[in-house]
Amino acid sequence: MSYMLYINGKLIKLSDAKPVAQTKQVNDLAKFSSRQTNFTNKFIALPCAENVRNLDRVGLVGNQSNLPYERAVVDLFDSITGECLIYKGWGNITQMTDGKGYEIYVYDGNIDFYKGIEGLTLTNVGISELNHVKNLDNVIASFAGDLNYMYMIADYNGNNITSTGALNIDYQLPSARTSYLWDRVFQYTGFTYTGSVFSSEKFLNHWMTFPKPVPTLEPIVNLITSQNSEIGQNSSAVPTGTGIEYVHFYYSIIFPNAFDNAYASNNNSYTVIKQTGVFRIKASGNFSNNAGTSSFLNWTLRSSTDEVKETGSFDTAVTTANINVAVGDKLYISSPLSGYIGGGVNNPLTGSMITTLDYVVGYDANFEEALLDFKAKDFINEIMQSFGLTMFKDKYSNNIDFRTIKEIVQSEVVEDWSGKFNGKANEKYIFSNYAQKNIFKYRYNEENSSYNDGFITVKNENLAEENPILTSKIYSPERLKVYVAGLLLRTYKFWNKEIKDDNTVDYKELTGRYYFLRSKEHSFGSPIAIGSESLNTETTINTIQIENYYRLNFQEIIYDNYSEMESLLDKSKTLEANFNLTTRDVANFTFKNLIYIDKLASYYIVNKIVNFIKNKPTKCEIIEVDYRKTMAPPETNPGTYITITSIETSGCDVIIHFETDADLPVTIMVVGQPNSFGIVPPPEFGPERYFNAIVNPTTNTITITVLSGGFWDFNLELIGQSIQSNHVMFENNSTCTFTPPEPELTFITITHMQNISIDVSTNTRTIRIDFDTDLPLPNEITFGSYDLYNFSLPSTIQVSEKYMIVDVPYKGNGLFGTTVVQWIVNLSKDNVVSQFVNVIEDF
């Protein structure tokens, strides 16, 4: 017998009719988005008495063994050399055939880990440490970065500013530290992991958002008091015609017992507030008189000087009341019903209410509840795909080593298989499942979006044009940024905004959205206000954590983690070659290292060992590695915004600080306008433009030189995108000696003009003006026009070629009794003006 097979520690005799064949693989590059495991062909165990006994009598009449339905622990040894080919593999007894025996399939490698997390969600692996109360204190505490959750300030498409102008935490969401979730999956399943990527800043500063708004329907509260009400009574003597009659007034006492604690005190009449925040009134029961029954409560909030600040009423059977209070306020609570007996009226007050007064601490940010639908397997795969990782499980332990594609392709250890090489079987030039453009896709809130997707190209015209090779479960943030607390930040949408008829905004919650992001510390020059409108709390702070999407665009991920993959796929060469492998070769091969074959003069990745049978040539699928190829950098991002954040002056130099999402360096045009009135001038007045700006991509600054004195208005423009920044006005009080720069162009000459059309209804004619200039294009040229009595304000037109199409007023025949009108036009740029040319009414 060549092999010894053990199932659950018991020796199983194998049939010699079919040899054992073992296939080994770690991650098939032809099936990019999945993760593979090792497997064998089926084993046939003899139907002998010893096997029947060791296999728990499976197959016998009346047998109820669970062995075919459970994992069978399988060990496989070479009986001659003692080499262990499979250690604690996963066995599956599929059937028992009379006369033939038992059919057994065995898997090993990564299967233990994937079976261990099969069916688990992130909630199952024990993430209670992430659960917390969402309130102002905990949001601010998370900015320190030593917790496993953090509130990265971003636009989540909610109401970011309170009515007092503070940054509103009510519409901010927590994110979980990816490394914590990763650790919990491995700790829960009893596995460990190694890999260089796990100590990198990109992994340690990688977060996943809470998948929905933090629920606010049922807050976390601290009990102030809970009491059963009483009925109070006042009696008075009322004179009548026949004597004195006593009348009785009845009223509710909601809190009959005085109390005093850290939040409030009560003297049976009203509650004095000792802690600013939100108080919640919750009650059950009702009061009655002969006129009716009511479960309502009225409340009134007065200041410390007894001025009414707010009043309200609510049905205790349906809802609760949340009241914003401040220290020193007085809170009065009563039933709207009262009673009266006297003067022939018999209408007493009866009934009671149990009323609870709570201090609202915050809201339950429960990650265990929120992540109940996120499968642990999906999370592991998302992280592996985001960092380009392949897993290698150690045969004899539960440690998994993760290697990047670069570490595999450029491994320091190379195994020389030259002496084992036994010839090529075939050579293929196409990877199945790949196309010319292989797309990595995020999910988007807007259909058909793709701005954060990426792709790997394969230069093979025989492949399909494109293929979505990876579709993530993670959402992309919105394309455009918005201002939050004066900072231009991305939008991770968790609310939809709906404008109501009264022009107020209704925020509709969205769920099931996961985003990846990173954090970035930001310090303000002076403290900013931050608070919670729903909790009525506010403070100031200097430093916060803001969202950051650094290197999370899929094209950037591909460039960082899949460069070598693109090199492998470019002019790919996959060989099926035969090798003379020993049992030891197969038993100890890890797939982590490259092999070298001298007859082929190349290095290779072993993609798969196919059907190894002892003492026979073994076919292996190997992929040629070309060290010379490197991936081109991703295409330059032209940018979607540019924003001036501040301006400082130093003599004639003006230093403009800006933010942009464009890849720097990029061409930025600076537009400066002397402005004595402190207002943004209309564009037709022809702003003075500077093209000699010095851009510092490291500090995001632009330095230009201007005349000293007076008010100035500046804005920036991303050339080629027509994306303009905000306008910023400042006063340049510095003094300096300044020599204006020489004009960049020397001439503009109109070479031809042609009438194109006339619109009588709007009195407009359209003309084409051809011109010649030494101005570099694309650029802007100002067009001016007038006749003898009428002037038109000049307009600045962006041109990319040496002509423009413009509209001028059309006067029509008969002006001054003539049939011809002359309309005069000219072109200008800075101080260079073209000749004046007449337009003749020839229609």
The 8-class DSSP code of residue 664 comes to S
Backbone angles phi, psi at 189, to 5 degrees: -90, 0
Say whether both 102 and 226 belong to one domain: no
Do the Cβ atoms of 273 and 325 come closer than 8 Å? yes
Q: Name the nearest CA neighbour of 714 among 748, 739, 682, 689.
A: 689
Say whether both 309 and 355 belong to one domain: yes
Q: How confident is the model at residue 32 (pLDDT cuts 50, 70, 90)?
A: low
State which H helix or E strand residue 705 sits in.
strand 701-705
The 8-class DSSP code of residue 121 comes to B
CA distances from residue 754 to 69, 205, 792, 798 in whole angstroms, order as listed: 87, 62, 19, 20
pLDDT for residue 372 is more than 90:
yes
Q: What percent of the chain has pLDDT over 90?
A: 43
pLDDT, position 389? 92
Among 12-16, 261-265, 568-572, the range scoring the smallest mean pLDDT is 568-572
pLDDT, position 489? 92
Query: Is 235 inside a domain boundary?
Result: yes
Query: Is 822 inside a domain boundary?
Result: yes
Could you tell me the two tokens for 544?
């916060």
pLDDT for residue 275 is more than 80:
yes
Q: What is the DSSP string of 127-187?
A: -GGG-EEESHHHHHHHTTS-SSEE--B-B-SS--B-TTS-EEGGG---EEEHHHHHHHHHH
Do the Cβ atoms of 313 and 321 come closer than 8 Å? no
Final residue belonging to a domain, choices 703, 731, 759: 731
List 437's β-bridge partners, or say none. Answer: 457, 466
> DSSP H helical segments within 247-370, as ranges?
367-370
Q: How confident is the model at residue 28 (pLDDT cuts 50, 70, 90)?
A: low
Among 218-222, 384-388, 440-444, 719-723, the range scoring the smallest mean pLDDT is 719-723
Q: HSE of 226 in the Cβ direction (CA atoms, 13 Å)?
A: 10
Most confident option among 40-54, 118-132, 434-448, 634-648? 118-132
Say whether both 300 and 246 belong to one domain: yes
pLDDT, position 812? 55
Do the Cβ atoms of 109 and 90 come closer than 8 Å? no
Give the residue with greater pLDDT, 260 vs 683: 260
Q: Name the nearest CA neighbour of 603 among 575, 572, 627.
A: 627
Say whether both 722 and 756 belong to one domain: no
Query: Is 706 inside a domain boundary?
Result: yes
Q: Cβ contacts of residue 419 below 8 Å, gap of 6+?
A: none
Q: HSE of 97 in the Cβ direction (CA atoms, 13 Å)?
A: 8
pLDDT for residue 536 is more than 80:
yes
Give yes or no for a cis peptide into 665 (omega within 30° of 0).
Answer: yes
- The span from the CA of 619 to the CA of 629, in Å, is 28
Q: Cβ contacts of residue 702 below 8 Å, gap of 6+?
A: 655, 656, 658, 668, 670, 693, 694, 695, 696, 716
CA atoms 204, 205, 209, 210: torsion sign: positive
Give the residue with greater pLDDT, 842 vs 180: 180
The 8-class DSSP code of residue 336 comes to S
pLDDT for residue 130 is more than 80:
yes
Number of domains composing the chain? 4
Say whether both 248 and 322 belong to one domain: yes
Say whether both 762 and 719 belong to one domain: no
Query: Is 272 inside a domain boundary?
Result: yes
Say whether both 225 and 333 belong to one domain: yes
pLDDT, position 507? 92
Give the mean pLDDT of the chain.
84
pLDDT, position 191? 96
Backbone angles phi, psi at 565, to 5 degrees: -65, -45
Apex 550 CA angle, 545 and 554, nearest 5: 140
Class of residue 574 by CB neighbours under 10 A (exposed 0-12, middle 13-18, buried 19+): buried
Q: What is the DSSP string of 439-473?
A: EEEEE-SSTT--TT-EEEE---TTS-SEEEEEEEE
pLDDT for residue 636 is more than 70:
no
Q: Name the nearest CA neighbour of 385 among 565, 529, 215, 176.
A: 565
Query: Is 621 inside a domain boundary?
Result: no
Q: HSE of 654 in the Cβ direction (CA atoms, 13 Å)?
A: 29
**Mean pLDDT for the stretch of residues 433-449:** 90
pLDDT, position 819? 42
> DSSP H helical segments within 197-242, as ranges?
201-204
Place of tokens 């002359």: 822
pLDDT, position 790? 55
Final residue belonging to a domain, choices 698, 731, 764: 731
**Mean pLDDT for the stretch of residues 763-784:** 83
pLDDT, position 682? 37
Read off the CATH number of the domain in which 681 is found: 2.60.40.10
Q: Cβ contacts of residue 725 below 8 Å, gap of 6+?
A: 641, 642, 643, 644, 658, 715, 716, 717
The 8-class DSSP code of residue 378 comes to H
Say whether both 241 and 346 belong to one domain: yes
Read off the CATH number of the domain in which 325 is found: 2.60.120
Q: Which amino acid is at 17?
A: A
Give the residue with greater pLDDT, 176 vs 742: 176
Do the Cβ atoms of 355 and 333 come closer than 8 Å? yes
pLDDT for residue 40 is more than 70:
no
List 488's β-bridge partners, or say none. Answer: 483
Apex 48 CA angle, 43 and 53, nearest 5: 95
**Mean pLDDT for the stretch of residues 95-112:** 83
pLDDT, position 376? 96
Query: Is 764 inside a domain boundary?
Result: yes
Q: How confident is the model at residue 827 (pLDDT cuts 50, 70, 90)?
A: confident
pLDDT, position 736? 63
Q: Name the nearest CA neighbour of 804 among 768, 766, 840.
A: 768
Say whether both 251 and 355 belong to one domain: yes
pLDDT for residue 816 is more than 50:
no
Q: HSE of 711 in the Cβ direction (CA atoms, 13 Å)?
A: 11
pLDDT for residue 630 is more than 90:
no
Rounded to 5, what percent of the chain is helix, strand, coil?
10, 45, 40
pLDDT for residue 558 is more than 50:
yes
Say whether both 671 and 755 belong to one domain: no
Q: Is 363 helix (H, G, I), strand (E, B) or coil?
A: strand
pLDDT for residue 655 is more than 90:
no
Range of the domain at 309: 220-363
Query: Is 76 inside a domain boundary?
Result: yes
Say whether both 692 and 655 belong to one domain: yes
**Mean pLDDT for the stretch of residues 693-698:** 66
- The span from the CA of 154 to the CA of 151, in Å, is 9
Give the residue with greater pLDDT, 65 vs 676: 65
pLDDT, position 678? 37
Say whether both 798 and 836 belong to one domain: yes
pLDDT, position 288? 96
Place of tokens 């004095």: 272
- 465-483 in b/e form (b: 16+ CB < 10 A) is eeeebbebebbbbbeebee
Query: Is 776 inside a domain boundary?
Result: yes
Among 36-50, 405-419, 609-623, 664-678, the range scoring the smallest mean pLDDT is 664-678
Q: How confident is the model at residue 746 (pLDDT cuts 50, 70, 90)?
A: confident
Final residue belonging to a domain, choices 696, 731, 766: 731
Q: Which amino acid is at 629?
A: K
State which H helix or E strand residue 425 sits in.
strand 421-428
**Mean pLDDT for the stretch of residues 648-663:** 79
End-to-end CA distance of the chain: 105
- The span from the CA of 251 to the CA of 249, in Å, is 7
pLDDT, position 707? 56
Q: Name the nearest CA neighbour of 476 among 509, 512, 444.
A: 444
**Mean pLDDT for the stretch of residues 741-765:** 74
Q: Which amino acid is at 763?
A: N
